[in-house]
Every structure is written in structure tokens, then in C-alpha cells.
Chains A and B, each alone.
Chain A
Amino acid sequence: KQEVTQIPAALSVPEGENLVLNCSFTDSAIYNLQWFRQDPGKGLTSLLLIQSSQREQTSGRLNASLDKSSGRSTLYIAASQPGDSATYLCAVDQTGANNLFFGTGTRLTVIP
């Protein structure tokens, strides 16, 4: 069974810092990896989706990388802002059926 781990569980940084969130998965036979953001009282919002054949995806200040062979992904956030404060979740799709295995998330706080 696929297991997805995210470390650290929580992270606090001052505004303006660049930061990296980590995600690891045990079974490298994946179809894609997705990063989501979760705000309190709200559902999840998709940030980036990386296909298994890709190495990275970028959207604005966000850059996600994928190293399938080592079972790792990182989410890089540039020039962090207080509005980036949220829980970030990574999820792995193993079959292409979009049945996702989620990590437990990293709770990010950006201090003004």
C-alpha cells in the first residue's frame, strides 16, 4: 500500500523567506503527484499537478519538483507572504484513476 509522508508537520517562517516543503512516497510506480492547499473551514484547492514523466511544474511563486525514482517531491514557495499560511498536502495517484493517497500535510505559518 502506498504511504505518503510529509515533513515537517508544521513550519513557521518570517514573511519574504523562500521555503521548501517535502513529500515522500513509498511506491515509485505513480501516475502523477499533486499538491493541494487547505485553508481552515474550506476544502482543498489544487496547486500543481506533476505527471510521472515530468520533473517539475511551476505556477507563479510555486515550483514543485518530482524525483520518482527516489520517491520524493518538493514544493518550493518563493518570497512567502502571510496569505500563504495554510496546510499544504501532497497526494499521489498510482493508477491514473485519480484515486489519491494523501500525506498528512505541513501546516505553514508566515509571520508578518
Chain B
Amino acid sequence: DADVTQTPRNRITKTGKRIMLECSQTKGHDRMYWYRQDPGLGLRLIYYSFDVKDINKGEISDGYSVSRQAQAKFSLSLESAIPNQTALYFCATSGTVTSTDTQYFGPGTRLTVL
């Protein structure tokens, strides 16, 4: 089984709908991240969490919220989806707060907002 899983893998929704993207990890990592990827813009950080009680805004948090339900689960919500939130969304994890480690990515969720 994959270490970092994302559900759903693909989602098409309409403007104004509430959407939740879910991420689960089996790596036992403390840190979790949400990114979006747009053509020509690379990946940009939306939110990150260093542990269950720690949530931080990233570069582009407006229009998004997150929930860290457990060490292994980190969800991203779009309260009222808009077309410019159409993108590829990635969840990632990395090691404990005392170590420097690379990030491990999920396979991505392709979201289309009509």
C-alpha cells in the first residue's frame, strides 16, 4: 500500500459547492502539507501542520481551510469552490520536527470547478 494516499483522485464540482480533499499517511510522520500545482506556476504551499495541534498558513491559504484530525490525517476544504481553484492538489509528509527530511508526496487530486 502507498505511504501517502489522497481521496478522491479526481473530482468535478460546481462553483459554490463545499469540497473536502482527504490525505492519509502510514509513515508515522508529524509534518503534513497541502500544495496546489498549476501549469506554469509550479507547486505552491497552501497549509502545513507540524503536529495535531499546530496548523499554519502557507503562501496561498485564502479560500481554503484545513483540519488535522489525527497524526495520520490532514484534510483540505474549499468552503465555496470557485473556478480558479481548478488545479492539481498534493498532500505531502515529512519527518519529525527534530529532523531534516525530504517530503513524501501523495499521488494528487485533480479538482475541476465548473
Contact among A44, A45, A96, A100 for B100, CB-based, below 8 A: A96
- Tell me which residues across on chain B come within 8 A of A32, comparing CB atoms: 100
Say whether chain B's binding surface is mostly helix, strand, loop, or mixed.
strand
Inter-subunit contact B104/A104 (CB<8 Å): no
Which B residue sits closest to A46, measured CB to CB? B102
Number of interface residues of A (CB under 8 A): 24
* A49 and B4 alpha carbons, distance in the complex (Å): 20
Number of interface residues of B (CB under 8 A): 25
* A13 and B31 alpha carbons, distance in the complex (Å): 38
* A89 and B43 alpha carbons, distance in the complex (Å): 9
Inter-subunit contact A104/B100 (CB<8 Å): no
Inter-subunit contact A102/B102 (CB<8 Å): no
- Tell me which residues across on chain B come within 8 A of A41, comparing CB atoms: 107-108
* A34 and B103 alpha carbons, distance in the complex (Å): 9
List chain B positions with a Cβ less than 8 A from chain A. Answer: 4, 31, 33, 35, 40-45, 48, 50, 58, 90, 92, 94, 100-108
Beyond the given A46-B104, A99-B33, please list 18 additional residue pairs across the A-B interface where CB-CB is below 8 A: A34-B102, A41-B108, A42-B107, A42-B108, A43-B92, A43-B105, A43-B106, A43-B107, A44-B90, A44-B105, A98-B94, A98-B101, A100-B103, A102-B35, A102-B42, A102-B43, A103-B42, A104-B41
